[in-house]
Amino acid sequence: MEVLILVLSFIILIAIGVPIAWSIGISSICTMLVSIPTISAFTTVAQRMATGLDSFSLLAIPFFVLAGEIMNRGGIARRLVAFAKSLVGSLPGGLAHVNIVAAMMFGAIAGSAVAAVSALGSMLGKEMEAEGYSKEFSVAVNVTASTTGLVIPPSNILIVYSLASGGVSIAALFLAGYVPGIITGLLLMITAAIWSKFRKFPSGERTKLSVVFRTFIDAFPSLLLLVVVIGGIVVGIFTATEASAVAVLYCLILSFAYKEVTVKNLPQIFLNSVLTTAIVLLLIGTSMSMSWIMAYENIPQNITEFMLSISNNKFVILFIINMLLLFVGVFMDMTPAVLIFTPIFLPVVTNLGMDPTHFGIVMVLNLCIGLCTPPVGSVLFVGVGVAGTTIQKVIKPLLPLFIAMLISLMLVTYIPELSLWLPRLFGF
């Protein structure tokens, strides 16, 4: 009965348009009311929300959000695009490759797919159209490429997974994301090249080595942030939370040095960061209450037993989980999906001998696809809005890029070393 109430109330609330954070919280309370008295139910949910947010590692999220907001306003995207253009602009479908490489670099620095799709779409969209690319193809490339920054660190969603999983090392997750993120980017580039050849989109002129060097020097301070943040965490100079604060300070200094941000811009930057952080943390709080209720009702254990009764073959179970997560990603945003389904699926895969770090990368990579699909694909909606087109027109060029992302997902799922060799190299 409790499980039925939890699932049905959540689905009904989502279906009638209640915001997902409120849907999670209300369905949690409804479920608790069946088991315990009213006052105790409300008190327990509130207590679990507060306890779920009482985590030092969660401080990294508002700091990384603030760092991303500063970078988005600080001229960093423009410098990264110029560097990417000098590297890959001469390849078939040159500007498509520029978009993908710039998205990988910008997303990795800012840790936000929405920030990347907005910044790069407004910068490269009109330029791609002017050179003969279709608007829909440029949107499709921008949308799919922007998700790579959620796998390549620093990434807020990997911090959320660390919390939901019960303490998987954030440093290990950060290191594990590099190779899968780069593989996804490379597969997107191959697909974009084939599509560009088929559609006879233009290639750019070969860039002189002196131009490559000049754009690299201009972008180097921005790229150095990755070395400072990830290097500091891996070497042990500071924790992921402390690294996020260092990132904010570094971005502020860099943006002031570029003269792209002034003191007058700071209140709006802080306000935007607070709004984003509030949404994320409310989702985390309500999701932690739902996770506790699921544990109280033994839902993860029951699902583990059920799935293992279907098959004890690791490959079959991973395929089923991937299909379920792909379905979930179509209707649910990434943060609540990670918080709700990690406690459900993690016991299943660990029973099969899968490393929790590996599963975290698989889960995030899987849900990145959901960000590009309607009806809840936030990155897709932003990309379409920036370009001034419709989702229906973008679907056709999106399909081959979806296939590239699915191939990447399958490779990362079934070849664990793609995720784990780098963390193991550094002793995690």
Q: Convert the pLDDT of each residue in 134-152 to its tens digit.
A: 888 888 888 898 888 888 8
> Of the candidates 176, 185, 183, 154, which has an alpha carbon nearest to the alpha carbon of residue 84?
185
Burial profile 257-267: b = 16 or more Cβ within 10 angstroms, e = fewer = ebebbeeeeee
CB atoms inside a 10 Å sphere around CB 323: 11
% of the chain at pLDDT higher than 70: 97
Backbone angle region of 166, left / alpha / beta, with phi > 0 → left and psi within -120 to 50 → alpha: left
Which pLDDT tens digit goes with each residue over 185-215? Answer: 999 999 988 888 887 776 666 777 788 888 8
pLDDT in the model for residue 176: 92
3-state secondary structure of 29: helix
pLDDT in the model for residue 358: 94
> Of the candidates 146, 190, 68, which has an alpha carbon nearest to the alpha carbon of residue 369?
146
Integer Cα distance of 63 and 299 in angstroms: 34
pLDDT at residue 393 is higher than 90:
no
Integer Cα distance of 233 and 214 in angstroms: 30
Mean pLDDT of all residues belonging to the chain: 82
Average pLDDT over residues 37-52: 82
Q: How confident is the model at residue 365 (pLDDT cuts 50, 70, 90)?
A: very high
Q: Which two tokens stand for residue 344?
A: 């459900």
pLDDT in the model for residue 110: 65
The set of residues, in sequence order, having a beta carbon less than 8 Å from that of 307 and lying 6+ positions away, is 317, 320, 321, 348
Which pLDDT tens digit goes with each residue over 313-323? Answer: 888 889 989 98
